Amino acid sequence: MNKTVTAASLALAFGAALSLAAAPAAAQDKMADKEKCYGVALKGKNDCKAGAGTSCAGTSKIDYQGNAWSMVPKGTCEKTASPTSPTGHGQLMAFKEKKV
């Protein structure tokens, strides 16, 4: 529970928030020590040029072949510490193709 939130404390908080919101951008960056901001852009999924989701782009990969499944993890999880893992790092179980 937060300490009692009164009308007066809300007013104070909003007053401070307004000055934060109105402050110039440079000052904001300094103040935002609790905040890391990552701008991101997603690409579209609609046209063939963009690749994803279009049958014309799909023929390059064959996902139905089961022989690709005796895999070793190749991702960054191997470099990622994991307290719950016996090796101390992220690991993936060997993957067996499920017969559908």
Partner 1 sequence: MSTELAFAHALLRPDAPCPAGLRAWNGSDPVKRYAVYRNNVVVSLVDALADSHPVTQALVGEAFFRAMAGEFARRSPPRSPVLAWYGEGFADFVADFPPAAGLPYLADLARLEWLRVEAWHAADADPLPLAEVAALLADEAALPNLRVTLHPALRVLRSAHPVVSLWAAHQSEDAAGALGAIDFAAAEAALLVRDGLDVALLRVEPGAAAFIYRLQRGDALGAAAQAAAPFDLPATLGLLLRHGAIAAMRTS
Ranges within 4-63 binding partner 1 (CB under 8 A)? 4-22, 28, 34-46, 51-55, 57-63
User: To which residue do tokens 């790092």 refer?
Assistant: 89
Q: Min. distance of Cβ 26 from partner 1 in angstroms?
A: 13
> What is the C-alpha to C-alpha distance for residues 67 and 100, in angstroms, rounded to an integer?
15
Task: Please pick, from the candidates 3, 24, 30, 67, the single residue that binds partner 1 as defined by CB under 8 A.
Answer: 3
User: What six digits make up the tokens of 46?
Assistant: 């609609």
Among the listed residues 98, 100, 78, 99, the one whose alpha carbon sits nearest the alpha carbon of residue 89: 78
Residue 2 makes contact with partner 1 by CB under 8 A: yes
Of 30 and 83, nearer to partner 1 (C-beta) is 83
Which DSSP state fits 81?
B
Of these, 24, 26, 49, 93, which contacts partner 1 (CB under 8 A)?
93
Nearest approach, Cβ of residue 27 and partner 1 (Å): 11
Nearest-approach distance from CB 93 to partner 1, in angstroms:
4
Give Cβ neighbours of residue 90 (< 8 Å, ≥ 6 apart).
73, 77, 78, 80, 81, 82
